[in-house]
A and B are shown apart, each in its own frame.
Chain A
């Protein structure tokens, strides 16, 4: 079964800490994405990558950075965690094609910043 694996299900961090969220997919997908999901706001795109070492800003990149050194791994970095970054973080991947074929999501990381 194909999978997108996020390293942590629940995470509690202190304000000002540097936080790393890891995502690994085993489907050989070119595209990878980081979203956050908050009640009433839906899914908001933070960053995405369509190839190794490539990254593009999404709708809400402020306070975040990403790294994609290998095709299967896409990391989200919170440079200095703040309480307004408390959220559910979802990683997704997809196959590149003329038509989008939909995403496969990881199980999510619920991050609490205290």
Chain B
């Protein structure tokens, strides 16, 4: 059973701080890694994808991948109250084009 694990939170950070969200996965052959943001009552929205070891930056967001440790993280710099949401980690391990989702980490940014 392929698993993706996240701490459910809530993770509370003050406005302007860096929020660090973490995810581990069990399938060493995983190839593609994603972060989705889901506001309460809304559907998930893809915000970052990463395919190789290292960091990938997009605006205030940085995704980090370490395949040896089977670990992927999302850093949000200068956190804003509008970043308050649940963040889902998702992993693709090949074969049919479906991914495995974690259960999400709820982030609260305190003004």
Contact = CB atoms under 8 A, between A and B. Distances in A.
Interface in A40-80: 40-43, 45, 48, 50, 56, 58
A105 B43 contact: yes
A90 B97 contact: no
The size bracket of the interface on B is: 20 to 34
Nearest to A48: B98
A100 interface: yes
B62 interface: no
B44 interface: yes
**Residue of B34, B42, B98, B99 with highest tally of chain A CB at under 10 A:** B98
Contact of A100 (B32, B45, B88): B32
A108 B97 contact: no
Contacts of A97: 97
Interface in A7-34: 30-31, 33
Per DSSP, chain A at the interface is: loop
Interface in B57-109: 88, 90, 92, 96-99, 101-104
Interface-central residue, A43, A99, A101, A104, by most chain B CB under 10 Å = A43
Given A45-B98, A48-B96, A48-B98, A99 B51 contact: yes
12 contacts: A43-B101, A48-B97, A96-B97, A97-B97, A99-B31, A99-B32, A100-B97, A100-B99, A102-B34, A103-B90, A107-B42, A108-B42
Interface of B: 31-32, 34, 42-46, 49, 51, 88, 90, 92, 96-99, 101-104
